[in-house]
Chains A and B, each alone.
Chain A
Amino acid sequence: MDTFCEITWIGLAVVVVGIWLHTIIASPRGKGPLWLKIRTIRLLFDSAGLLLPGKGRLIVGWLARLAAVVVVSSTVVLAITGFIPALRGERLSGYLLLIHVSVGPVLVVAATFWVLVRAARFTFGASDWYALKAAVLRDRWFGPSPTYPGPVAKVCFWALATLILPLGLSIVLSMFRIFDTETLIFMEEVHRYCALAFCGLGLIYAYLVARHRAFDVRSNDLEGKETCYGDDGTTKLSQIRKTEPC
């Protein structure tokens, strides 16, 4: 088993076990991991419904959701085609390589679009400070809106956005006659480790977003009334802070 194989197994295990532990340790009172799982699956179905362009939905929002789905599905395909041979100590080749190379650009394009339309939402601000403070003090704090992802998810978002660059460029630049074979081997390694980081961060990001939505009391209580909470976080934040102090 080569180093990358070991690191992959260890890395993915750490992420999965970490998430699992987090679901246990950080569950709200009276609601355990099982509830979270059910809730997450339900959210997935809800999200699938949101993929259909509907009345009153902005085309950009719909495209962003579509892009997110494409990103997730292409990441899954790329992870399967990329990691399976790697974990078996084999070289990516044959039809798996064809699929991998074909889906790769789809991920890069979809992820770029997704980053483009979601970047504003994931900008760091004062609310992140409150969220961090609440997390450290283990206080209840609901964030400025149901769509508020939380500071860790934001970090993940920007890390994912940054990783798209080495992921794509490491392969595309190797297609030019710039680098010698040894550099190409290094770039392939860069691609593999970036892909591993991308998958790990992607899992953490997906978990945090799902968890946030699943645990958001207001969205639970006001399910279907999403319009009650806009993205104008500041106003709502002040209202919430008045009613439910940290």
Chain B
Amino acid sequence: MFRTAYLIAVLLIWPALAEDPNGQSEPNALSAMIGDTWTGSLASPGHRIVLYDDRGFRIFPGVNFDQPFSCMVTCGICHQVQRISGGWHFSAGLDVNDPGRPGEPWIYWDCPTGTQIPLSYRNWPGTFEPNQLGLSDWWFVRAFGRHMPGGGVGTRPQTMPDPHDRWQLSGPLEINCLSCHDADPRHDQALFGQQIGMHNFRWAATATTALGMVEGAVQDLPDTWQPGDQGQLPRVIYDDGQFLPDNKVILQITRQIPNERCLFCHSVQLAGATALNRSVDVHVAAGMRCVDCHRNGLDHRISRGYVDQDTTIGPLTCEGCHLGKDSSGMAITNLHAPYPRHKGIPNVHLEKLSCTACHSGPLPTGRPSLARTSRAHALGTAQANASAVTLPHIWMPVFAKAADGKIYPNRLVWPAYWARLDGDAVIPIRPELVREVAGRFLPHGLQMDVPDWPRLSSQDVQQVLQALEDAGFLRPVYITGGRLYSLKAGQLVSEPHQAGRPYLWPLAHDVRPARSALGAVSCQDCHSLRSGFLFGSVPVDGPLTEPNECLPMMVFSGLEPRYTRIFAWTFVFRPYLKLTVLGVSALILGILAVFLLRAIYLLSTAAQDAQSARTGKDKAF
């Protein structure tokens, strides 16, 4: 009977598996499944469904009731999960041809070795692929799976084999559709990370729901564990009350993803922000949901909001809603968001600045602030450290010119890592290896309360580099603060290096209302020598940098410093210029009026004289 169910399940999901890998087919094509065909109803479809485990067996109370359900199989009955798995959330490491605009990387940090290195499977310039550091998919999923919705390298580990991996026991980290689509308030996404920490990949999705709880941990089993050995795999204890008499369950699945689901992984807070004084996005405050703008089709290639993004639903951008058209003039939505008047803002600003430059992120001060993000700082999990200075150090806002020539606000991270030179290429060395080889020269106190940069001296770096060289690492170097430190004739030397350049990614939230935008108060919000936007200083961050070492913001924004300074200085005289021109304009107007009145008077007098002369002549006759 169960085999039959499995076969039916496979047959049902087969069309999706056999689909065009590019995902170009229409939703209403023959391959479309019942869950992917919109009937036209705006009501949310009910999900009174049967649960299946990853082998296609139905979850029956009392039979295989201890098995976790599989989203891929359960949801795959009605939805094209294969096509969905190409979405942004799941495609990292699988689709290298379409990396999209650089976004937030995963940041691997290690306090004792002074390491902070941006990782990404998307090959974004400035990031490293985990396998470049010798980090396997197993390692990656264990480290960062807490804020992944599953899929990608979690399901198809292939980029880097790991002799110590435990995929056989942990199972794959399948796409967890419920990470986003579960509207049940009892959903607890933090448990997903907790299960991953215990190597319970296969059980993680089930653990987050209110259907049951997971008992046991793969982590406690030996690597060589086999069924029948001492100990047992984790098991699910389902809540009987959640099952209907026909053994179906009711899941609160929604297309309108609640903001809380998105924000579990996408929260960003300035260091020092509290629950009371934190900023709120104006759209959220107005009652909008993240998915109102970040929409997607069946392919789940969610609109990221930038103009040249290629999606099946068209780019949903700031212009799209607020101007009613995109940059090419195409009408996008009929939402009729407030039309931006931009009173007193010359058009050149709209050509040189992105909308987000003035409207998003914290207002710039003289120096960007440290920020904590969900993914970098494990916010929302037990691993999160509330300290403002905890690694990794992410700075925002940093205003930098993008490829389209516009200035965008960005978040920034300075890479710091040990590496070796192979020709001109800088090959990072895993921090674990550095600790192993040169741990005696590194600061002690590995378990700091506040994991900040270690206090490394030049001498420490020199000793570590020497130890690495002695251990067989050819031409070892240390990258930090934009510089490359190396040994030359036994002495530590440093030079600015491309490999040390900071990694930046654009920020777009929180969006501030028009009245809080840059330039809303006066031109001198930016055109002032005290403006953080133009004349701010970006901290150069790393274990070896001086405490107040900074780079001018204009290094990033690509503006010419002398000209920008002179131009800002001219705004001191602008009030006088306005007064002068208005004054002389009034004078000119007066002169014109006087002479015009005089001309009218002369004309009138001449007409009167002519009339009098004519009258006199008539009288004479």
Instruction: Give residues in A with beta carbon < 8 Å to B.
Output: 91, 93-95, 97-98, 101-102, 105, 108-109, 112, 115-116, 119, 123-124, 158, 161-162, 164-165, 168-169, 171-172, 174-181, 184-185, 188
Contacts and interface: CB of A to CB of B under 8 A. Distances in A.
A115 B344 contact: no
Contact of A109 (B344, B350, B580, B592): B580
B592 A180 contact: no
Contacts of A119: 591, 595
A14 B581 CA distance: 31
B582 interface: yes
A168 B585 contact: yes
Contact of A164 (B342, B560, B588, B599): B588
Contacts of A162: 592
A24 B491 CA distance: 83
B580 A184 contact: no
Contacts of B587: 112, 116
Interface of B: 340-348, 350-351, 523, 560, 563, 566-567, 570, 574, 577-578, 580-582, 584-585, 587-589, 591-592, 595, 598-599
A97 B560 CA distance: 14
Nearest to A171: B581
A221 to B, nearest CB: 33
Shortest beta-carbon contacts, A-B, top 6:
A177-B344, A180-B341, A112-B584, A181-B342, A172-B581, A168-B581
A179 B581 contact: no
A95 B560 CA distance: 11
Contacts of B589: 165
Contacts of B563: 94-95, 98
Contacts of A93: 348
A106 B595 CA distance: 24
Nearest to B578: A172
Contacts of B344: 174-179, 184
12 contacts: A98-B566, A108-B580, A108-B581, A112-B584, A119-B591, A158-B592, A161-B592, A174-B344, A176-B578, A177-B344, A181-B347, A188-B347
B350 A181 contact: yes
Given A98-B566, A168-B585, A181 B345 contact: yes
A164 B592 CA distance: 11
Contacts of B340: 181
Contacts of A171: 581
B347 A185 contact: yes
Contacts of A158: 592, 595
Contacts of B343: 177-180
Contacts of B351: 91
Contacts of B345: 181, 184
B566 to A, nearest CB: 6
Nearest to A179: B343
A168 B599 contact: no
A116 B342 CA distance: 38
B598 A123 contact: yes
Given A116-B591, A181-B341, 9 more contacts: A91-B351, A98-B563, A112-B591, A165-B588, A165-B589, A169-B582, A172-B585, A181-B345, A181-B347
A116 B585 CA distance: 12
Nearest to B345: A181
Nearest to A120: B595
Contacts of A161: 588, 591-592
A161 B523 CA distance: 31
A4 B306 CA distance: 32
Nearest to B566: A98
Contact of A180 (B342, B560, B567, B570): B342
A91 B348 contact: yes
A119 B596 CA distance: 11
A169 B581 contact: yes
A97 B574 CA distance: 14
Contacts of B591: 112, 115-116, 119, 161
Given A116-B587, A180-B342, A175 B347 contact: no
A174 B585 contact: no
Contacts of B574: 175
A101 B570 contact: yes
Nearest to A172: B581
A238 to B, nearest CB: 19
A64 B344 CA distance: 36
Nearest to B343: A177
A175 B584 contact: no
A53 to B, nearest CB: 24
Contacts of A188: 346-347
Contact of A172 (B350, B577, B592, B599): B577
B25 to A, nearest CB: 43
Max chain A CB contacts within 10 Å: which of B570, B580, B581, B585? B581
A105 to B, nearest CB: 5
A118 to B, nearest CB: 10
A119 B597 CA distance: 13
A95 B346 CA distance: 18
B44 to A, nearest CB: 41
A13 B276 CA distance: 67
B375 to A, nearest CB: 37
Contact of A123 (B346, B347, B350, B595): B595
A158 B591 CA distance: 10
A178 B344 CA distance: 6
A172 B586 CA distance: 13
Nearest to B341: A180
B590 to A, nearest CB: 9
A93 B566 CA distance: 13
